[in-house]
Structure 1
């Protein structure tokens, strides 16, 4: 799947354009969509390597689009450090586990995140618990990121529970996703799983990802983000079921 054929080029362009649109509308979802779609066509390890550069570029953009970056870094440093540690450790699983089983784990992660977002209420975390929970959430998020290439669980529900303002939350998500992306790249490099040909594919994916984010930002002004988000989460459940059940078909 690393040879740049017409079919692979079309898949990359369409996947990252669609993933960028989702991120432009909702502020998240690019790695989740990209891993879900690409993971159905190639090994999750290869998909994670291709994801690195477009995810990094779009998340740095999101992280810096506001005035709260430094304050959020000071507040969330323990969580970010533990995300790095957990991701580097978890990437070992992505490298050594059979692609069928890593694909199944990816599917379960997609279903878990979508089901939580659809059916469970947003929690509110007492401030006194934040210092204790942040490292735990970081380690768990990192392990799941390393094992599946998906950055969302449990980081997104946790950050949503902190009572951040809308713009602060968008920046906090960008910070978390940026750290996860860098840690995933470090883990892949440490285990010799990030090759030069994948770097080229990852660079290629930046253009449609940015174009999708631009289109998504326009669409956000014209459609209901709530309805779009519901459709997006239902899509993730369907995709997750396909990945999870594939080993038994």
Structure 2
């Protein structure tokens, strides 16, 4: 049985269709990357799979006992709130000092346990969010544009870390990417959505698909180049970080 699946999934806000007719399955250990233009419903899709957003049509099925670790697109922490990293990682379930130390070491920020969340750099903050997701020992790691706002070396480093973690714990990875030029070379499938599934398949198949090219064109921003683990740098002349704000645009 698939870890999570959707059949005929549709989501509407105020009578406006955001997603429609989506069929999807995620298998154990698989890496799937979701791409799509700004406002295409990528975040809504993840939220529907998580059960945070109720489908207006179709259904979502999760395997019994499946554990999901979620790294959100962004998380606002009040700068005036004294919230040490160790405390943050103990919400909502209390974690031992050794658990926290181990997971922070694993994500590459071993010295931030006593630091205030509001004082972390962008890269440190995302790694702490990843640490929190890993504490649930996930069968599925869901990442919603996890590198938004990070610089180029930070993006490459974060994706490399995700790949290492997946190999270690054997979880499936479902990631929404805003970096069209950076997709993990280990991705089994890329799914391009724009309200519905426009095209899907191996990265090289999606890159060549007319539907993908119609959405993204053929320039640097449209080239679905694979991130190769042997290279730490990607040539990026298009710093177009598309921040999806489905919940803001469609909440009213």
| More strand by percentage | 2
TM-score where L is the length of structure 2: 0.32
- Give the TM-score, by structure 1 length: 0.32
Greater relative contact order structure (CA < 8 Å, 6+ sep): 1
Q: Which structure has more helix as a fraction of its residues?
A: 1
